[in-house]
Each structure stands twice: as structure tokens, then as C-alpha cells.
Structure 1
Amino acid sequence: MTDVEVARNGAVLELSLNRPAKKNALTNAMYRALSVALHEAERDQNIGAVLISGAGGVFSAGNDIGDFVAAVSSGGEMAAADFVRKIAAFSKPLVAAVDGLSVGVGTTMLLHCDLIYASPSARFSLPFVDLGLLPEAGSSLLLPRRVGMARASAWLLAGESFSAEEAREAGLINGVVAADALLATAREKAAKLAAKPRTALLAARKFLRGDKEEILARIDAELDAFRAALASPQAQGALAAFLNKNK
């Protein structure tokens, strides 16, 4: 067992975040594993779609703050940056099955997915500003386009969490599915996408997703601002408080 389970299911590559004891909080190692899997799926002509899910009734609590702070403090890489660029540039369909908690990058990565299904217990949250940080993964560009400026401001600036039904009504996700049918539904949708004429599917997806370079440029700009904010007293204090609270 690893923290990111990778499995092939026909023409679909399945990626499962598998660290339920830590609410599938993402570490540098997990980001690297996800980036490698996406790179391999991009190159593999037998893979037509990718499905992302979380184990243990949780999608992801976002960054593992302790791992993240340790990596940054030691001058280590921000593997998260490579992952968000990879998922933004990925050319094949991405399907997500969201059960339970979906925080930070657990929500922003969904903006790069094509079909998203969530259980009734799914709860989304974007607490970047509350931590003294900036939104990432292109969310400052893509979220208002997806759900409108009013909702994007409530979620990104005010930090209001929202339910699966609210996400569906806003157009962030495609549907709310009972937890015991969630993964099967997402698998069915991913398999149907993977079975479609590949050239037409990828071309249609490319037009739907919009200007990839614009999205990547926004991701890089967000990352620069994120790094600057990370050094601020506000962010340092918020992260230290979070770590002390969760010791």
C-alpha cells in the first residue's frame, strides 16, 4: 500500500489518494507520485482517461501543513507546483469522485477536471486567505469563470465552505451521488469518455478548456505571490497555530 494508489481499469488510469489516517493530506511525495502518474498517462496511448478519488470517505484535506512547512524551511522543492502545472496541462479527460472533505488543493485541482461527482457528505473549503496565503492552481482565474464572481469571492476571499449540493447548483460539479455508488458512477463516466473517438474527444476538450498558456501563466503568477505570502508574519503565525493545534 502506498499513499497514492495507481491502477489500470481498462482504458482508465485510476489514482486514489490513500492516506486516510491523515485525511488524505498531500505530501511532497504524494504530489510527485501524482505528477509521475499523469506524465505516464499522457504518454500511454492505451489510456483514454484518468479518474481521481480518495480513500476512507475523504477526498483530501489539502496540503499536509507539517510536510509542506518542513520542505519549504529546508529550501526543498514545492512538488505541489509541478503537480498543478501537470494537471492543468494534461490533455486527456479527468474525472473526479469526491467523498467527504475537500480542502484547498483538494478543491482547486477539480477545476482542471472535466466530470466531477460528489457524495452528499462532500464538503469543500478554500481557506488560503485565512492562512495568510494566496489561491493556487489557477483558481483565481478559473473559479470565477466557472461559478461567477459572487460565489468565487465568497469561497476564495471570505473562505466560506460549501456543500456538495451548493457545488452542483453553482456548476462546480456535475452531480451528487450516494456514497455507495460514487466510485462506480465515476468509473462508468470515465470509461465512456475513454471509449470515445480519441482525436475528436481531445480536440473538443482542448477547445472547452480554453487557452492553456493563459492558465499556466496564471498558475505561475499565483505561485510567485504564494511564495511571497508564505514569508509574511501573518502566514507564519497562521501555519504555526495550525501545527500547534494539530500536535
Structure 2
Amino acid sequence: MTGTPEDEVLHRFESGVSWITLNRPEAMNAVTWDQRERVIGLLAEASADPDVRAVVITATGKGFCAGADLRGAPAAPAERVVGDVARMIRLGAQRLITAVLDCEKPVIAAVNGTAAGIGAHLALACDLIIAAEPARFIEVFVRRGLVPDGGGAYLLPRLVGPQKAKELMFFGDAVPAAEAERLGLVNKVVPAEALEETAREWAERLAQGPTRALALTKQLVNASLDGDRATALAAEATAQELNMTTADANEGVASFVERRTPKYLGR
């Protein structure tokens, strides 16, 4: 039985942190069309809401996200024409990943279990990844005779290099959490029972930081591998110019001069 999007993607706001939780544990949180749209919407709301200063994406049950569940998607046309598949990918999986990459707040993935296919890419698109010890990452596409979608061939080489990325995508082997940490896919591995608390500690620490400076830093880092040095330095100078108009930048400088702990407001 299918629940509402609000049931299948839980949302709560605590201490400046927007918690987005996939909630279809019986399906290993394979993401439906409705879930995807709700996650995209919540990320857009997080960007626009000055009270939201960090985001956590996690899931219930034993799976983080087992990939796409197309059963809830709009029916495919009776006769497929050239462009239909590209359009579906562009408006579907790619929009989800782009929503994470473009979110103006830092996004943490708290990966509780298996992250496969688009589920793996949802985690890899996040700014920081904390994985529970039972978690696994699987580039499952090759097992189905498919090409990776959701930006996988863009994200993975930037984390592990092209040769390792091709190995993971060509063979589709499961990567345990400890190996994922060694490869640089995740930032930290913790016991399953410590996952939520660790994510909360990191998220609340980010939520107390200079939110606009973090947003600009995220943009610079995400763009750094796509352009040349001159472009990167020009973007850096522009980011500095913008950031110095914020209250938090002024507070940071003042607190340094006055030798006190800064109190950032996210503005």
C-alpha cells in the first residue's frame, strides 16, 4: 500500500537543521517519483529559509536508498520516441542530484544501510557523508545492463579518480562502509547506533557557523574541478566580495579583534 509523500519522506526542523528522512523501509527506500519531488521541494525550501542552516538526508530501516522505484512514476508513452529517455533522466534523477549540489546550505548524508544506484549518487552528491558500519555503496547499473544516471559518472571520478570509478561501475561490486571510507567516498564511519547522534553533532555544528560563507565555499569547491585556474580565482574573488557584505563576516572579524567566540546568525 502506498502512503502519502509526507509519510514516505519525513521532515522535521530542529536547532537550525532540516532533517529529510526517506521512509519506505519495506522497499529499502527505493525512491518513487513522489518522494523525489518532495525531497527536491524540501531542499529548495531549505535554500530559501534563513532559519535553516544545515540539512541532513537519511532513511529509516536497513536501507538508505536501493535506487529508483519507477512504479509510482507517470506512465510511459505507448510509443517511445527519440528524446523521451533523455528527458526522463534530465527531469528526474538529474534534478534530484542537482537539488543537493545546488542547495545553499551544507547537506550531510547519514547513510544507514545500502545505497545503490541513484541512492548511492544521492549520498555522493552531499557535502559530507557519515556512514553506519553496515552501510554499502553499489553502482548497480551494470547488473541491469544500464548506464549510470543521476550524475554518477560526474560524481564518482571526482571522489576516487577515473580508474577506480570505472572499476566500481564496470563490476558493480558492493563497497562496504569501511572500504568506502578508505577510498574517500565517505568522511566518517560509525556504529549504527551512533549514526543519528553523529549526524546531529555535525549538522548542529554547521548550523552554528557562518551560513552564507559556507554556501559560497560550497559553490567554489563544487565548481573547482570543472573550470580553469583563472575562472576559479575570479569566482573566489567574487565570493569574497559577496561574503564581506554579510553580518556573519563582520562578526567574525570583530570577534577576532575583540578576542571572543563569534556568534554567527546565518546572515
With the shorter chain as reference, the TM-score category is 0.7 to 0.9
- What's 1:72 paired with? 76
Larger Rg: 2
- The counterpart of 2:43, out of the listed 38, 41, 55, is 38
Matched, 1:149 2:154: no
Partner secondary structure for residue 51 of structure 2: coil
Matched, 1:99 2:112: yes
- What is the CA deviation profile of residues 149-184 of structure 1, one whole-angstrom value per residue up to 9, with x for unaligned ones? 232112112212110011000101011101011011
Indicate if the aligned counterparts of 2:94 and 2:151 stay in contact, CA closer than 8 A: no
Structure 2 gap ranges (5+): 1-5, 79-83, 228-267
CA RMSD between the two structures: 2.1
Q: CA deviation at 1:129?
A: 2.5
The 1-side partners of 2:196 and 2:179 are apart by 20
Matched, 1:129 2:142: yes
Indicate if the aligned counterparts of 2:93 and 2:150 stay in contact, CA closer than 8 A: no
The 2-side partners of 1:156 and 1:67 are apart by 27
Indicate if the aligned counterparts of 2:33 and 2:70 stay in contact, CA closer than 8 A: no
The share of aligned pairs that are identical, in percent, is 35
- What's 2:13 paired with? 8
- The number of residues matched between the two structures is 213
Q: CA deviation at 1:55?
A: 0.3
Indicate if the aligned counterparts of 1:51 and 1:95 stay in contact, CA closer than 8 A: yes
Partner secondary structure for residue 194 of structure 2: helix
Q: Which amino acid aligns with 2:185?
A: L
Runs of 4+ residues deviating >4 angstroms: 73-78, 211-214
Structure 1 gap ranges (5+): 215-247
- What is the CA deviation profile of residues 196-220 of structure 1, one whole-angstrom value per residue up to 9, with x for unaligned ones? 0122222222222225988xxxxxx
Q: What TM-score, normalized to structure 1?
A: 0.79
Q: CA deviation at 1:57?
A: 2.5
Indicate if the aligned counterparts of 2:111 and 2:131 stay in contact, CA closer than 8 A: yes
Partner secondary structure for residue 173 of structure 1: coil
Partner secondary structure for residue 82 of structure 1: helix
Matched, 1:195 2:192: no
Equivalence map 1:49-64=2 (5 Å):
49-64=54-69
Indicate if the aligned counterparts of 1:119 and 1:179 stay in contact, CA closer than 8 A: yes
- What is the CA deviation profile of residues 97-134 of structure 1, one whole-angstrom value per residue up to 9, with x for unaligned ones? 11121111111112221111111111111111322222
- The counterpart of 2:98, out of the listed 74, 85, 96, is 85
Partner secondary structure for residue 50 of structure 2: coil
- The counterpart of 1:160, out of the listed 173, 190, 212, is 173
- What's 2:233 paired with? none
Relative contact order (C-alpha < 8 Å, sep 6+): which is higher?
1
Indicate if the aligned counterparts of 1:88 and 1:212 stay in contact, CA closer than 8 A: no
